Chains A and B, each alone.
Chain A
Amino acid sequence: AQTVTQSQPEMSVQEAETVTLSCTYDTSESNYYLFWYKQPPSRQMILVIRQEAYKQQNATENRFSVNFQKAAKSFSLKISDSQLGDTAMYFCAFMKRPDNAGNMLTFGGGTRLMVKP
């Protein structure tokens, strides 16, 4: 079974600054995907970024980037130029590589991020 741990329950950052959210995971799988989801006050889950474990290059999506350390089983999210709209819960999630594995997501406990003006 997989586990995902987010050690920062809450964080805050000033608008336009950079913040990094931490995530560690435990798995015996070699092929998998990692994700960061955003859940704003509306509670709609929004996919922010994903990383394929076999790719060494860190994923980036505009202001969002990850630091994927496979050996250390670490997957942090960096948000650059933070905006007020980034205020949300952020969840790290794990999915085994789809091969009749059911495509289930295993979530961490979340980090509540507040961007301050």
Chain B
Amino acid sequence: DGGITQSPKYLFRKEGQNVTLSCEQNLNHDAMYWYRQDPGQGLRLIYYSQIVNDFQKGDIAEGYSVSREKKESFPLTVTSAQKNPTAFYLCASISGGAGYNEQFFGPGTRLTVL
């Protein structure tokens, strides 16, 4: 089955530590995205990548970093510079090409800072 996987499902981090969230897709999608969701709020875009080895900042990129070395993978690192990292993180992907393409979402990772 094609889809998007995120791991781990739950992640705990001590203050001052960096942590990396995994996102993998086998949909052969060109573009991938990271969103952050806070309790009772909508999703906000952190970073996105339209092609391998290229990515752009979203609305709330400060304190986060990404890489896109392979088409299938788009890991997100939450650095110690992120002041309030406790949140639910969603990865998404979309195929390229003209016209409308649906954005598919992974199951998410819940990050808690202890």
B42 touches A33 (CB 8 A): no
Contacts of B56 in A (CB 8 A): 102
B41 at interface by CB-CB < 8 Å: yes
B interface residues, how many (CB within 8 angstroms): 26
Residue of B nearest to A95 (CB): B103
Q: Which of B101, B105, B108 contacts A103 (CB 8 A)?
A: B101
B31 at interface by CB-CB < 8 Å: yes
Q: Which of A33, A105, A107, A110 contacts B40 (CB 8 A)?
A: A110
B102 at interface by CB-CB < 8 Å: yes
Residue of A nearest to B102 (CB): A47
Contacts of B108 in A (CB 8 A): 43-44
Which residues does A use to contact B, with CB under 8 Å? 4, 6, 9, 33, 42-45, 47, 50, 52, 91, 95, 98, 102-110, 112
Which residues does B use to contact A, with CB under 8 Å? 31, 33, 35, 40-45, 48, 50, 56, 58, 88, 90, 92, 94, 98-103, 105, 107-108
